[in-house]
Amino acid sequence: MKCTNKRNLKAQGSPVFSRLKKILSRTAVICLLASLPAGALTGCGKEELPFAYNPDYEVSSYRVVNEVSSVVADSFADDLCVVIGDVGTENGAVDMSEATAAGLFDLNKNNVMYAKNVHERLQPASLTKIMTALVALKYGNPDDMITVTDEASITESGAVLCGLKPGDQLTLNQALHALLIHSANDAAAAIAVHIGGSIEGFAEMMNKEALAIGATNSHFVNPHGLTADNHYVTAYDLYLIFNEALKQDLINEIIHMTSYETVYMDKDGNSKSMSLKTTNQYLNGNFKAPEQVTIIGGKTGTTNAAGNCLILLSKDTSGNPYISVILRSKEKQILYTEMTELLNVIN
């Protein structure tokens, strides 16, 4: 197609321009033509810019694709569970009265089996670390050698640590095990500085990745989930984040482990041992899942602001996968009791 500027396109009475005018203002047309991918509509090379994709918006890429070119575009959420409001069970068997938000998602059927306040912004506690692991593996390599910096010296009361000190050296693989099995906050900080150059730099990467996978109702300011202003997620966004993280084989492997032992080096080159146990009460045997459900793994999280939180990957007797999440349950015992009720919805 011959490259034609926008002014000539109108002057020539282009049928494309005429049809665009019916759904967009002239200003919107100009913005659209400037932001489409190279070769789109005009054939001119242009840099691609973000453009809303929503069938309900008066101006969006969905309407341009469908109304201008008469081509049905693939939905961004074509292979995802989508939910707007609450979804209950037929017999009302799930008692989620002690939790603020919860969801159960069938990954094979892309079906929301239960939803309560899944779009409410809440503190995620250590469920944050799922995004930390996802970003770390996207931009790093498991064999990367991390040198621990002062940012890993976390002094907050009650914060879970694995004992890292400034100058210690360990691989990203080792740090990810400490992060996801033991929920070590010092490991989270060490990973963040290694990958992002700083806590703030890594948080920016987390937010960029969240937007890329559709988790647009979340915002991160740190890699560990210790309480901070403007650090929040939703139960639905956590489903999106966990679903994306499960595409990483190493994350699938780690979340299933009940314990981990390794050796790393201190600043003087001396060996230091690390022995960790899972914080997941299903995996360590303190709580029992329903008979028809196998817990593959997940992530726990607890702070005063976030309450007790849990996200899980489970499978039914046929091997079909499910993601379940509960945010801000009042007590750990209640959290696991409610999660067991939620998992009972799986047939």
Q: Binding site, residues?
A: 299
Residue matched to tokens 């202003």: 229
Separation CA 271–CA 294 (nearest Å): 37
Spot the catalytic one: 6, 75, 109, 129: 129
> What's the distance, CA 158 to chain centroid?
25
Q: Is residue 247 annotated as part of the catalytic site, yes or no?
A: no
Spot the catalytic one: 126, 314, 324, 329: 126
Per the CB < 8 A criterion, the answer to whether 293 and 316 are in contact is yes
Give me the amino acid identity at 77.
A
Per the CB < 8 A criterion, the answer to whether 326 and 99 are in contact is yes
Pairing of strands 169-171, 99-106: unpaired
Binding site for substrate, by residue number, is: 299
Per the CB < 8 A criterion, the answer to whether 105 and 217 are in contact is no
Longest dimension (CA), the chain: 76
Separation CA 17–CA 11 (nearest Å): 10
Separation CA 198–CA 109 (nearest Å): 40
- By CB atoms closer than 10 A (0-12, 13-18, 19+), residue 213 is middle
Hey, which residues does 322 pair with through a beta bridge?
A: 106, 314
Helix (H), strand (E) at residue 105: strand 99-106
Spot the catalytic one: 61, 116, 183, 218: 183
Q: Is residue 129 annotated as part of the catalytic site, yes or no?
A: yes
Pairing of strands 111-116, 145-147: unpaired
**Catalytic center residues:** 126, 129, 183
